[in-house]
């Protein structure tokens, strides 16, 4: 007979204030594909320093991607990467307060293995762990290790992930789990201890299947859009989908910040980073998404200096950056923002001292108004 225990407490939520985090540079080159940009190395020490700085300057979370193949080019972008879960376990020991969000690809890990790994991370971190769930979409990345199932289309990958997460959640709450699904098969499968606090579940993706999956299972949704009205619509959409399931979900977006003493100096930095765009690596990245080569080439050729950046960019003085981030949050209604820096060790402390207090003060004033 299957025995169950009480479901673990839902991960604690913060106040209504906007959450700020950093996207750790777990791959060499960080998040700018350029010969003229700073080139963070894929080392634990570099990421540890970034995480400790983030905590010291009031950030709420640190997150790392999962990546198993780079994009080549003159910079060998992401040719060297660390593994997300093991690195974040180390950072759980190195920090005390920030939430620790690691990435897992569902097609690489049996849900019983993942359940045990994240229970362990939750124990190490004292309840700060989060799981960024990635369905897996880059064929070459997984084909190199024999883990790309060509029979699974986009819809099938989401059906698999739905079963995978269902199994995961049961393993976190039940003493014995038996499942005979389309993809997941468990027989009297046991995974104890259970996490005292359920790890936060987050995911990205804008397809209807992805948004429905987030609405049913996730606590957070990472979203992108071409402009602020588009991001507002995306945020409202996934929140409405969650509400239809009797749930709530937070929304997050990403932003690269190029900061300097003045707007002119910041704009010059951004221009210089764009000047060295690694076109070959950028094209390789776009074809990994499934774009035809001719389309990837034409997209990159139009504005290579902008394509070097993998997210929206804000550049300027501390005052300008504060204004633009405030506008983004207010106009879109997102609950959090994950920030990327060209040079985490140099730029993060400046942001923490000159921008973060102003953002927090403005949020506090708005709440009290």
- Note whether 51 and 37 are within 8 A (CB): no
Res 341 pLDDT > 80: yes
Termini Cα distance of the chain: 56
| pLDDT at residue 6 greater than cutoff 80 | no
Which domains are delineated in the chain? 19-267+312-364 (3.20.20.30)
**pLDDT at residue 115 in the model:** 98
Q: Is 144 exposed, middle or buried (0-12, 13-18, 19+ CB in 10 A)?
A: exposed
Question: Does 339 have pLDDT greater than 50?
Answer: yes
So what's the pLDDT on residue 131?
98
The number of residues in the chain equals 369
pLDDT at res. 1: 31
Q: Residue 151: is it exposed, middle or buried by C-beta count within 10 angstroms (0-12/13-18/19+)?
A: exposed
Mean pLDDT of the chain: 93
Percentage with pLDDT > 70 across the chain: 94
Tens digits of per-residue pLDDT, 289-338?
888 899 899 888 888 999 999 999 999 999 999 999 999 999 999 999 99
- Classify the phi-psi angles of 125: left when phi > 0, otherwise alpha if psi is within -120 to 50, otherwise beta: alpha
pLDDT tens-digit map of 245-268: 999 999 999 999 999 999 999 999
Q: What integer pLDDT is reported at residue 311 of this predicted model? A: 96
Separation of alpha carbons 274 and 292, rounded Å = 24
- Report yes or no: 218 and 201 within 8 Å, Cβ to Cβ: yes
Averaged pLDDT, 158-183? 97
Evaluate if residue 219 carries a pLDDT over 70: yes
CA angle 32, 34, 38 (to 5 degrees): 70
Q: What's the pLDDT score for residue 7?
A: 36
pLDDT for position 8? 38
Report pLDDT for 58.
Answer: 97
pLDDT of 16: 57
Residue-wise pLDDT tens digits, 222-231: 999 999 999 9
**235-241 long-range CB contacts below 8 Å, 24 or more apart?**
235/332, 235/333, 235/334, 236/333, 237/211, 238/211, 238/214, 241/211, 241/212, 241/214, 241/215
User: What average pLDDT does range 198-214 have in this prediction?
Assistant: 95
12, pLDDT greater than 70: no
Rounded distance between C-alpha atoms, residue 204 and residue 285, angstroms? 18
Q: pLDDT at position 366, please?
A: 58
| Contact residues for 224 (Cβ-Cβ < 8 A; gap 6+) | 204, 206, 231, 234, 253, 254, 311, 312
* Whole-number pLDDT of residue 362: 84
Decide if pLDDT at 171 tops 80: yes
What pLDDT is attached to residue 291? 85
Q: pLDDT tens digits for 69-127? A: 999 999 999 999 999 999 999 999 999 999 999 999 999 999 999 999 999 999 999 99
CB 71 within 8 A of CB 277: no
Measured N-to-C along each axis, helices 228-244 and 318-332 cross at an angle, to the nearest 10 degrees, of 40
What secondary structure does DSSP assign to 274-294, as a single string? HHTB-HHHHHHHHHHTT--HH
Query: 45-55 pLDDT, tens per residue?
Result: 999 999 999 99
pLDDT, mean of residues 199-216:
95
């Amino acid at each position: 007979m299957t025995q169950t225990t009480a479901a673990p407490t839902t991960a604690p939520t913060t106040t209504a204030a906007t959450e700020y985090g950093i996207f750790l540079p777990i791959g060499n080159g960080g998040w700018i594909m350029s010969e003229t940009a700073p080139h963070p190395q894929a080392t634990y020490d570099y990421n540890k320093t970034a995480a400790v700085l983030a905590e010291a300057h009031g950030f709420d979370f640190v997150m790392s991607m999962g990546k198993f193949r780079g994009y080549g080019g003159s910079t060998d972008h992401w040719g060297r990467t660390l593994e997300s879960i093991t690195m974040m376990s180390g950072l759980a020991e190195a920090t005390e307060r920030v939430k620790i969000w690691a990435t897992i690809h569902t097609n690489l890990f049996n849900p019983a293995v993942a359940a045990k790994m994240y229970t362990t991370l939750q124990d190490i971190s004292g309840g700060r762990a989060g799981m960024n769930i990635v369905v897996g979409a880059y064929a070459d990345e997984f084909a190199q290790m024999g883990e790309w199932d060509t029979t699974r289309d986009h819809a099938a990958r989401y059906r698999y992930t739905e079963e995978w997460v269902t199994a995961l959640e049961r393993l976190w709450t039940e003493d014995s789990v038996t499942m005979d699904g389309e993809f997941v098969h468990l027989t009297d499968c046991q995974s104890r201890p259970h996490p005292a606090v359920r790890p936060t579940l987050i995911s990205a993706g804008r397809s209807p299947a992805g948004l429905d999956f987030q609405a049913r299972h996730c606590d957070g949704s990472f979203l992108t859009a071409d402009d602020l009205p588009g991001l507002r619509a995306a945020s409202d959409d996934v929140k409405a989908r969650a509400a239809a399931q009797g749930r709530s979900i937070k929304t997050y977006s990403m932003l690269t910040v190029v900061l300097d003493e003045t707007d002119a100096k910041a704009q010059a930095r951004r221009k210089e980073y764009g000047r060295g765009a690694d076109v070959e690596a950028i094209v390789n990245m776009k074809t990994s998404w499934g774009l035809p080569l001719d389309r990837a080439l034409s997209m990159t050729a139009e504005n290579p200096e902008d394509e070097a950046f993998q997210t929206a960019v804000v550049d300027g003085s501390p005052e300008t950056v504060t204004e633009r981030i405030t506008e983004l949050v207010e106009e879109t209604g997102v609950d959090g923002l994950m920030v990327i820096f060209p040079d985490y060790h140099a730029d993060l402390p400046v942001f923490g001292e000159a921008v973060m207090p102003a953002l927090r003060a403005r949020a506090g004033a708005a709440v009290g108004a």
